[in-house]
Amino acid sequence: MNRIQELRKRDGVSLAKLSKTLKDNYSITASPQTIMRYEQEKTQPKLDVFESIANHFNVSVPYLQGLSDDPVDLKSWEEATGYSSDQILSELKQLKDSGRSTGNIQNDIGSVVAKLDRLPSGYGVDSAISYVEYELIQLRSDIENKYFIDPEKKEKLKALNNGLNVRPKDPQKELYYDDVDPKILDYIDNVLIETGRIISNGTNIIKNEYNGQNMILLKESIKRLQDLIESLPNKSDD
């Protein structure tokens, strides 16, 4: 049987209180009578209801459903991520010790997996670097869309391609405003790329104290950025 009643009694939560919590916190409408029917398995909750109840009691959905005896369900996380239980538990301890724990075990595991995957949604140095790299890429896209692309030209091009967003061979003529200089976007693009490389390689050197290969890459990026700046025309010569 599912463990809804068991967890509800463990935490001293009445049917009415659980019903109100589901509505207020998860936008789930389930009357006390309906929850009782869930507990007696006369009615089967939908997945979103199981997820909301599991989240409230800080357990995994399989545990709540009675399909697993592991409240955290580390086996499923192992299978889904490729990380061992020991790795996940070790990261969870660090998360708790650093004061970053949300108090919800499933959310915390999601955070540590994101950290291990070096995703921007994680925490720690690696995720910080990934966040910067992602934001630099997004910044370039935002600049092009907001300041260079003419919406009318974009719609005309889309109409010519039967509603598909096809990247044109010559964006300057087919997409950009007539009064913008695409060389400026190229310059911004190159600066953002080299900046991302400098941050990535520089932070790797700091983390590892010293790494010869990273130092070479860092110097190359700095040199490319310097060359890019020096290549700008000197208006004082005009």
Q: If you average pLDDT over every residue of the chain, what do you get?
A: 90
Q: 141: buried, middle or exposed (CB in 10 Å: 19+, 13-18, 0-12)? A: exposed
168: exposed, middle or buried (C-beta count within 10 Å: 0-12, 13-18, 19+)? middle
Average pLDDT for 177-191: 93
- Is the model's pLDDT at 210 over the cut of 90? no
Q: Which of 13-17, 76-80, 120-124 has the highest mean pLDDT?
A: 13-17
Alpha carbon distance 59, 149 (integer Å): 48
Average pLDDT over residues 5-20: 95
* Nearest in space to 131 (alpha carbons), one of 115, 143, 119: 119
Q: Dig out the tokens for 232 from the structure.
A: 């700008």
Per-domain residue ranges for the chain? 4-65, 74-116, 125-237
- Sign of the torsion angle spanned by Cα atoms 9, 12, 18, 21: negative
pLDDT band at 232, cuts 50/70/90? confident
Cβ neighbours of residue 235 under 8 Å, at least 6 residues apart? Answer: none
Please report the pLDDT score of residue 161 as a whole number. Answer: 82
Q: Which CATH superfamily is domain 4-65 in?
A: lambda repressor-like DNA-binding domains (1.10.260.40)
In this structure, what DSSP letter does residue 236 have? G
Going 49 to 53 to 58 to 60, the CA torsion angle's sign is negative
- CA distances from residue 46 to 20, 28, 43 in whole angstroms, order as listed: 18, 10, 9
Contact 36, 86 (CB under 8 A): no
pLDDT of residue 238 exceeding 60, the answer is no
DSSP 8-state assignment for residue 166: P
| DSSP symbols for 94-108 | HHHHTT---S-HHHH
DSSP per-residue codes, 99-142: T---S-HHHHHHHHHHHHTT-TTS-SHHHHHHHHHHHHHHHHHH
